[in-house]
Amino acid sequence: MQELFVIKIGGNVIDSEAGLQSFLKDFAAIEGNKILIHGGGKIATKMGEQLGIESKYINGRRVTDDATIDLVTMVYGGLVNKKIVAQLQSLGCNAIGLTGADGNIIPATKRPVKEVDFGWVGDVESSKLKVESLKLLLDSGLVPAFAPLTHDGQGHILNTNADTVASSLAVALSYMYDVRLIYCFEKKGVLENVDDDESVIKIINKKTYQQLLSEQKLFAGILPKIDNAFAAIDAGVKEVLVGDANDLIQNTTGKTSGTLFIN
């Protein structure tokens, strides 16, 4: 099977104009099949402040009410996505901007209300992804660039975790490609000590993960990435790597730097 890189960029890199340009230059240089998934950074929060839309968070997760879903659709699917696509075009990378609603690629369901009502937040329906159209785009030389938005099939856009979008796409495409899923952010990998950027854990399997959890050595913010990484590995993705956005070329061509997840 052909190789495919599914690469997610987020964190502070999205908020740094210079950092994002540097990353996109490296992304554009990757040869072969590739897909980009981007987060929204803090841009939606800043734009919301200008428009008088207050950002609300519960347990670190954004509550997406009626005003906020319009805001993130404009910012993630419009401003951020199209700026990224335009920059990639300037670098000779023929990108096409997408959301999960385009081509019905990523159907999702509105998260059910339990203790908390997160509003228009989507949980991906993994079994219903329509990735055949992505293969057509890739075969045509196009590079899909996804905003973290899905849809419910009833006309509503849903705000969806970008890490989950990346993992879901990687899994669905693993039946057609040898997929390497790479999560890029501002750290060198999963750190044993969050205050020491050099304390990168090179390899994590399920046994070491449980040990790290029991010893409370993992920063809470990294846990969703790890859960998504193992879900992808379990479902057929060849490799999952979490690493520094600055190491992207190295992580797609040779000796990897960062944290590699294995079964």
What is the pTM for the complete model shown? 0.93
| Confidence band of 238 (pLDDT split at 50, 70, 90) | confident
The C-alpha atoms of residue 262 and residue 239 are separated, in whole angstroms, by 7
The C-alpha atoms of residue 214 and residue 78 are separated, in whole angstroms, by 42
Is 92 known to sit in a ligand binding site?
Answer: no
pLDDT in tens, 145-170: 999 999 999 999 999 999 999 999 99
| Confidence band of 3 (pLDDT split at 50, 70, 90) | very high
The C-alpha atoms of residue 240 and residue 182 are separated, in whole angstroms, by 6
Is 41 known to sit in a ligand binding site?
Answer: yes
Is 40 known to sit in a ligand binding site?
Answer: yes
Q: Is the pLDDT of residue 42 over 80?
A: yes
| Confidence band of 108 (pLDDT split at 50, 70, 90) | very high
Rg (CA), the chain: 18
Q: Where are the beta strands (DSSP E) in the chain?
A: 3-9, 33-38, 56-58, 61-63, 95-98, 108-110, 122-124, 143-146, 149-151, 157-159, 178-185, 203-204, 239-244, 259-261
What share of residues in the chain are helix, strand, coil (percent, to 5)? 40, 25, 35
Q: Is the pLDDT of residue 83 over 90?
A: yes
Q: If you average pLDDT over residues 199-204, what whole number do you get? A: 90
The CA-CA-CA angle for residues 171, 138, 88, to 5°, reads: 105
The C-alpha atoms of residue 229 and residue 238 are separated, in whole angstroms, by 11
Q: Is the pLDDT of residue 213 over 90?
A: no
Cα–Cα distances in angstroms (integers) from residue 70 to residues 43, 111, 196, 227, in the given order: 14, 17, 39, 29
CATH of the structural domain 3-185, one choice from 3.30.750.24, 3.30.1490.20, 3.60.15.10, 3.40.1160.10 = 3.40.1160.10
At residue 104, what are phi and psi to the nearest 5 degrees? 55, 35
Q: Is the pLDDT of residue 199 over 80?
A: yes
Is 62 known to sit in a ligand binding site?
Answer: yes
